[in-house]
Amino acid sequence: MSGIWPVELPPISSARVYDYLARGKDHFLADREMAEQMLAAHPGHLDLVEESIRFVDQKVEELAVEGVDQFLVLGCGFPRRTETPVHVVAQTFISTATTIYLDRDLACVVTTRAHYDANTRVSVFDGDLTNPHRLLADPGLHSALAPDRPVAVVCDLTLQHLADQDVTALTAALATALPGGSHLVLTHPAEDAAVAADVYTAAIVQDLAAEDTYRTRSVEHLVPLLKGWTLVTIEVSEHGLLTATARLS
């Protein structure tokens, strides 16, 4: 089938830049050049991305082993053959585990749907994390999640593209909407990666390529933004990756 993409694609996309760094295939020349500039400024950024993938895999496995059978992935990006998707990790331990993938990038949504369409326990939605109340009111989301069982929310290198007030609004809305016992698994660039973040943000602002920027945050900066959640673990790796888990009482 041939046709015209219904929206104009930005010259640089955070999802496509991440896809290149994660050894995927869904990126353009401008995204690759942007990623290489970030790596030139902060060579450890590639290790940061790989460590983030491993951390998420580990935590999803741990939660599935504990019996959590609902996963909500915010900012899913493109599926990649080089890594195991959240739903596959979860269903390895609970065959009936449900996974919802969500992204505001329509290219990510369409591609992810095409890849996972055969799995009846997987749903893919488009949604803007800066409008969490509208997002969480989506009837499709409600029908895909059981309201009486905990949900594990996964934010894999996603929150750095949101302003502080948007992170707070999102986490507070999730804390209100989800049942007790739900979990939050997140990775985020720490301050050690600031030079790479500055390179990305400068290019985005100059080219007007997208509406997002790239922020780093310290532990002290991030923790107060997780409104309604009880922190369980948090640390910063040698590569500048901040990892954290939190829980609802």
Statement: residue 3 has pLDDT above 80: no
In the prediction, which pLDDT does 134 show?
93
pLDDT bin (cut points 50, 70, 90) of residue 5 is: very low
β pairing state of 98-103 and 70-74: parallel
pLDDT tens for 91-120 read 999 999 999 999 999 999 999 999 998 888
pLDDT tens for 174-206 read 999 999 999 999 999 999 999 998 998 887 765
For residues 186 and 219, is the Cβ–Cβ distance under 8 A?
no
In the prediction, which pLDDT does 81 show?
87
Compute the chain's Rg from CA coordinates: 17
pLDDT bin (cut points 50, 70, 90) of residue 16 is: very high
In the prediction, which pLDDT does 77 show?
95
In the prediction, which pLDDT does 13 show?
85
In the prediction, which pLDDT does 205 show?
61
Q: Apex CA 178: angle with CA 83 and CA 127, to 5°?
A: 55
In the prediction, which pLDDT does 1 show?
33
Average pLDDT for residues 27-51, to the nearest whole number? Answer: 92
pTM of the model: 0.92
Per-residue three-class SS string for 173-189 = HHHHHCCCCCEEEEEEE
For residues 11 and 33, is the Cβ–Cβ distance under 8 A?
no
In the prediction, which pLDDT does 211 show?
55
User: Which domains are seen in the chain, by residue range?
Assistant: 14-247 (3.40.50.150)
| Three-class DSSP category at 71 | strand
β pairing state of 122-126 and 98-103: parallel
CA–CA distances in Å: residue 92 to residues 56, 82, 96: 15, 17, 10
Share of the chain above pLDDT 70, in %: 93
In the prediction, which pLDDT does 82 show?
85
In the prediction, which pLDDT does 188 show?
98
E-strand stretches of 75-213: 98-103, 122-126, 152-156, 183-189
pLDDT tens for 138-171 read 999 989 999 999 999 999 999 999 999 999 999 9
- In sequence order, the 6+-apart residues with CB closer than 8 A to the CB of 172 are 227, 228
